[in-house]
Amino acid sequence: MRSRVFFAYSREGPAVSELVRFDGVVKKFRTPRGGRQTALDGFSMTIPRGSLVGLLGPNGSGKTTALKVLLGLVRADQGTLRAFGHDLPRDQRFVARKMGAIIEGPAFTPSLTGHHNLRLLGELHGVKKRLVDEVLDLVGLAEAAHRSYSGYSLGMKQRLGVAAALLPSPELLVLDEPMNGLDPEAVRDMRELLVRLQREREMTVVVSSHILAEVELVCDRVTIVRHGRVICDDSVETLLARGPARTVLRGPEVSSARELLDAHGYSVIPAAGSELHVSTSGPSSEVLRVLAEHGVFPDEIRREKASLEDAYIEAVRKADEERAQIVDTNKLSTRGRPHAS
């Protein structure tokens, strides 16, 4: 039989396939100088039940704010948010019981052991000691459970954070940058843990991250946020299939090729071994034509499948282009408007 921790599937009748839906959510913060900082600007996304969602976006794009709104830590100014078939913030208390989270790093008492820290948190949720042992085991900290938290590595601290988030037996686990600052081994442990929670425990997991290669490996869905708006909310498969292909150029002339292609609006990433990765929605021959017209001839050219990084950079570039066009159009229409007399 399933343990109590994870026996959390819908008791409200048929399973809701869409666990969360943000629709046009707006959040503006007051700044110390009395201004307004827009963190969410019509934010819309869905979280399907059972998915492992990667929430991506540049620093300050609104990821943490969106997660805080979902968790009831911040109140939206406009828009609608539904979770588990309930409206938020109206039914926040009901929905809160179904979610576990780490936002901006968990706070633990350094002098206490991992086990003791969790016992104290467990008392808040009214959970039994057995459950504390179970979550510690699940995150791979059973052996280190009775060591003091201050001696834990960063990876162990992050996993203890996940263990704490699992204490309320959540259906939805929300983790803000759980892989931040971890070494490759700890990243791998965290990746395996997330996949296990999703596949074996049937949990829905949302992770915000800047580590695109990891997101590509573990997530089945990606939401990209830019300037408080969602510019892509899709399965990783669809995003990669729809995204640009990559033309790889190699040779001594790649730095001039980079300048040229940059100037022609291509997304260009320099890589190791004098390689240049060029995201292209059209055929590689278009890239070669631009180079040849300027007398630049790479030694080697090959075409590769795009990575999530290519798709991400392309999505952000397109969104910025569209935004710049809207700004230009607004400027023109303001200039063209007759002055009030």
CB of 40 to ligand ATP, least distance (A): 8
What is the per-residue burial (b if ≥16 Cβ within 10 Å, else e) of 292-323?
eeeebebeebeeeebbbbbbbbbbbeebeeee
CB of 61 to ligand ATP, least distance (A): 4
Phi first, then psi, for residue 277 (nearest 5°) are -100, 120
For 269, the token pair is 């990433």
Q: Does 62 bind ligand ATP (CB under 6 A)?
A: yes
Q: Does 65 bind ligand ATP (CB under 6 A)?
A: yes
Q: CA–CA distance from 113 to each of 46, 106, 124 (Å)? A: 38, 15, 17
- Those residues whose C-beta lies under 8 Å from the C-beta of residue 128, and which sit 6 or more positions away, are 122
C-alpha–C-alpha distance, residues 200 and 194, integer Å: 10
Q: Does 60 bind ligand ATP (CB under 6 A)?
A: yes
Q: Does 54 bind ligand ATP (CB under 6 A)?
A: no
Q: Does 132 bind ligand ATP (CB under 6 A)?
A: no
DSSP codes of every residue in 18-67: EEEEEEEEEEEEEPTTS-EEEEEEEEEEEEETT-EEEEE--TTSSHHHHH
CB of 6 to ligand ATP, least distance (A): 28
Judged by CB under 6 A, the stretch of 31-39, 139-147, 185-193, 239-247 that binds ligand ATP is 31-39
CB of 37 to ligand ATP, least distance (A): 4
* For ligand ATP, the closer CB: 66 or 291: 66
CB of 177 to ligand ATP, least distance (A): 7
Exactly one of 13, 34, 59, 124 binds ligand ATP (CB under 6 A); that residue is 59
C-alpha–C-alpha distance, residues 150 and 294, integer Å: 59
CB of 18 to ligand ATP, least distance (A): 23
* For ligand ATP, the closer CB: 49 or 63: 63
* For ligand ATP, the closer CB: 167 or 225: 225
Exactly one of 5, 19, 39, 291 binds ligand ATP (CB under 6 A); that residue is 39
| Phi-psi group of 215: left, alpha or beta (phi > 0 → left; psi -120 to 50 → alpha; rest → beta) | alpha
Our CA angle for 269, 273, 279, nearest 5°, is: 25
Exactly one of 51, 64, 92, 209 binds ligand ATP (CB under 6 A); that residue is 64
Judged by CB under 6 A, the stretch of 55-63, 120-128, 144-152, 327-335 that binds ligand ATP is 55-63
Partners of residue 277 on adjacent β-strands: 248, 269
Q: Does 29 bind ligand ATP (CB under 6 A)?
A: yes
Judged by CB under 6 A, the stretch of 1-9, 10-18, 53-61, 288-296 that binds ligand ATP is 53-61
Q: Does 181 bind ligand ATP (CB under 6 A)?
A: no
Q: Does 57 bind ligand ATP (CB under 6 A)?
A: yes
- # chain residues binding ligand ATP, by CB under 6 A: 12
Burial of 266: CB neighbours in 10 Å, binned 0-12, 13-18, 19+: buried
Exactly one of 49, 63, 82, 115 binds ligand ATP (CB under 6 A); that residue is 63
Exactly one of 7, 17, 36, 37 binds ligand ATP (CB under 6 A); that residue is 37
- Those residues whose C-beta lies under 8 Å from the C-beta of residue 266, and which sit 6 or more positions away, are 278, 279, 280, 287
C-alpha–C-alpha distance, residues 88 and 106, integer Å: 24
C-alpha–C-alpha distance, residues 157 and 113, integer Å: 11
CB of 100 to ligand ATP, least distance (A): 19
Secondary structure letter of residue 163 according to DSSP? H
Q: Which residues bind ligand ATP (CB under 6 A)?
A: 29, 31, 37, 39, 57, 59-65
